[in-house]
């Protein structure tokens, strides 16, 4: 079968190779992948900026497909079902945090950038009926990360004023759509005016270009501040967020694309009674809740582009350049 491997021998660090089609063991299923989607994680792996890099692994955490073979002990009604895959492996029993054995599908375990993937049957959920394969493939990792950040950590509810930063991001667009569906008044930031226009067309109350020097001042003046900020960039903008948060508000961070801040305005942090929450992925329970929420609210991932699997390397280059608005999907 064709698969995209993380390799140590080319300058690209990723290559499509022919590898042996795997067979499911007891409790496992073989899924024929119809579509898969990129996450920034895949690009971090490619450039060696992810812990415990393991070469010759099939990358990819997001996928949707059809169950094509069952291992021993798997209920026969899974066969030929259209499914999505929960990318969590070994979250454990604590809702507060993942176990020490936790990892994510697609390095070190072979992932979804292949014609077939093996997962444990308990990783399967039926594909939401309102999504086609491309849309369903875009959902798992981003949908889960956004769900925990928005609801479990951000506690976002109707009428709250919310800022989602970097709306072009695959996770950010889910956070945006989830907060909107919860009835929040949602603002966005982006490096691009066009992406802000797209977000306002989809229901954002306004947006700010984070590349402009005075964007935070402008945002404070026009909005009066936010109850919750959902961010994955971090960096020096942390102090802007502390200025933008209303007294008692929450900053939720699930990434640090811009690195770490040089300093943190501690005085503002404690005087404004703000809290900073770290958030990563989500539990298996949250995965189920997220799929239910997405199905109930008929949320469809914003898809930046769909290309054939053979062209997947160009999708990595695009996510690196940050040109996308939403998810980059490859179809088989
Ligand atoms: N902790 C976890 O479990 C978890 C899960 C998923 C993702 N992440 C992390 O979260 C980040 C986003 O992941 P993703 O897959 O959504 O990536 P992505 O699709 O590549 O999105 C990255 C987005 O970051 C935004 N951005 C870049 N510089 C920014 C800045 N200075 N201020 C605000 N936003 C900025 C950009 O938004 P614009 O295009 O609008 O400018 C860009 O689209 C990555 O660092 C990833 O590793 C962590």
CA 163 / ligand 1 centre spacing (Å): 14
Q: Answer whether residue 9 shows pLDDT above 90.
A: no
Those residues whose C-beta lies under 8 Å from the C-beta of residue 37, and which sit 6 or more positions away, are 62, 63, 137, 138, 142, 170, 327, 328, 329, 330
Q: Answer whether residue 80 shows pLDDT above 90.
A: yes
**Residue the block writes with tokens 């989602």:** 164
Could you tell me the end-to-end alpha-carbon distance of the chain, in angstroms, rounded to an integer? 12
Closest atom of ligand 1 to 191 CA is: 41
Minimal-distance CA residue to ligand 1 atom 18:
169
- pLDDT given at position 35: 98
CA 169 / ligand 1 centre spacing (Å): 5
Q: Answer whether residue 10 shows pLDDT above 90.
A: no
In short, whether 326's Cβ falls inside 6 Å of ligand 1 is no
**Mean per-residue pLDDT, 167-180:** 98
**Mean per-residue pLDDT, 211-229:** 98
- Whether this prediction's pTM lies above 0.75 is answered by yes
| Residues 105-144: tens digit of each pLDDT | 999 999 999 999 999 999 999 999 999 999 999 999 999 9
Residue 282: pLDDT band with limits 50, 70, 90? very high
Minimal-distance CA residue to ligand 1 atom 39:
168
- Separation between Cα atoms, residue 89 and residue 291, nearest integer Å: 17
CA 143 / ligand 1 centre spacing (Å): 13
In short, whether 303's Cβ falls inside 6 Å of ligand 1 is no
- Separation between Cα atoms, residue 245 and residue 220, nearest integer Å: 9
* Top mutation candidate among 255, 281, 286, 327 for ligand 1, by most atoms within 8 Å of CB: 255
Average pLDDT of the chain is 97
Minimal-distance CA residue to ligand 1 atom 29:
233
**Mean per-residue pLDDT, 63-70:** 98
Q: Answer whether residue 40 shows pLDDT above 90.
A: yes
Residue 223: pLDDT band with limits 50, 70, 90? very high
CA 116 / ligand 1 centre spacing (Å): 28
Per the structure block, which two tokens stand in for 255?
């990434």
Domains of the chain: 2-139+301-331 (3.90.180.10), 144-278 (3.40.50.720)
In short, whether 167's Cβ falls inside 6 Å of ligand 1 is yes
């Amino acid at each position: 079968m064709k698969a995209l491997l993380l390799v140590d021998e080319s300058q690209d660090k990723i290559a499509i190779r022919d590898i042996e089609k795997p067979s499911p063991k007891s409790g496992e299923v073989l899924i024929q992948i119809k579509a898969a989607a990129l996450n920034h994680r895949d690009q971090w792996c490619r450039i060696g900026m992810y812990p415990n890099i393991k070469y010759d692994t099939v990358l990819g955490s997001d996928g949707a497909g059809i169950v094509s073979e069952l291992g021993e002990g798997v209920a026969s009604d899974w066969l030929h079902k259209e499914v999505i895959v929960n990318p969590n492996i070994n979250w454990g029993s604590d809702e507060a945090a993942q176990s020490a054995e936790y990892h994510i599908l697609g390095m070190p375990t072979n992932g979804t950038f292949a014609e077939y993937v093996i997962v444990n049957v308990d990783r399967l959920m039926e594909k939401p009926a309102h999504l086609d394969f491309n849309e369903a493939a875009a959902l798992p990792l981003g949908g889960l990360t956004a769900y925990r950040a928005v609801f479990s950590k951000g506690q976002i509810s109707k009428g709250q004023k919310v800022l989602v930063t970097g709306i072009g991001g695959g996770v950010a667009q889910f956070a945006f759509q989830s907060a909107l569906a919860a009835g929040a008044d949602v603002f966005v930031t982006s490096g691009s005016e066009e992406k802000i226009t797209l977000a306002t067309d989809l229901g954002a109350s306004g947006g700010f270009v984070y590349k402009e020097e005075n964007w935070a001042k402008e945002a404070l003046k026009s909005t009066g501040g936010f109850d919750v900020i959902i961010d994955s960039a971090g960096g020096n903008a942390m102090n802007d967020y502390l200025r933008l948060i209303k007294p008692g508000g929450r900053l939720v961070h699930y990434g640090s694309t811009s690195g770490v801040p040089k300093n943190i305005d501690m005085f503002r942090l404690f005087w404004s009674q703000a809290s900073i929450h770290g958030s990563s992925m989500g539990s298996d329970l949250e995965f189920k809740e997220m799929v239910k929420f997405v199905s109930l609210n008929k949320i469809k991932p914003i898809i930046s582009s769909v290309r054939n699997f053979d062209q997947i390397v160009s999708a990595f280059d695009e996510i690196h350049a940050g040109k996308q608005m939403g998810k980059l999907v490859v179809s088989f």
